[in-house]
Amino acid sequence: MNRNVPSLRLLSAAAITALGALILLPQTASAAAGDDGKFAAVAHRYDTYCVQCHGVNRNGRGINSRDMSVQPRDHSDAKGMGGIPDQELFDAIKKGGLAVNKSVLMPAWGGVMNDDEIHELVAYLRHVCKCGSDQ
């Protein structure tokens, strides 16, 4: 009788569960931000370029944030985001943090995204913080 067989089955079940969690993680991240069909493509763009610093929950706690001297903005904070004009958000995304007297750690994305994509991202940020015209 081999005593390792139940342990092997348990290990296999754990591996399958972990794999399932990895497959569902991107869907969970978008769901955590309250995405709907209107913002699916923009949420994907955010997941690609912004999540590392701003976090999967859009709360400024991305994987890179622990090593930053200035913490990234919490995009889910209605009070903090509500007072920022759309043009300032646009400029920060397009030209980087220094363009709006914020952190040098915020890169300029104008060479990666066109103006329409940046405007869509600004609208998405308003959706995330529940502090914009789509509410």
Match 């509410």 to its residue by tokens: 135
Question: Residues 11-69: pLDDT tens digits?
Answer: 444 444 444 444 444 444 444 445 568 899 999 999 999 999 999 999 999 999 999 99
For the domain bounded by 33-129, which CATH number is listed? 1.10.760.10
Write the single-letter amino acid at 131: C
Match 């066109």 to its residue by tokens: 114
Could you tell me the pTM of the whole model? 0.73
How far apart are alpha carbons 127 and 107 in whole angstroms? 22
The reported pLDDT for the residue numbered 14 is 42
Percent of the chain with pLDDT over 90: 69
Measured over the CA atoms of residue 117, residue 121, residue 127 and residue 131, the dihedral's sign is negative
Match 């955590």 to its residue by tokens: 32
The reported pLDDT for the residue numbered 30 is 45
The reported pLDDT for the residue numbered 114 is 98
The span from the first CA to the last CA of the chain, in angstroms, equals 64
The residue extents of the domains of the chain are 33-129
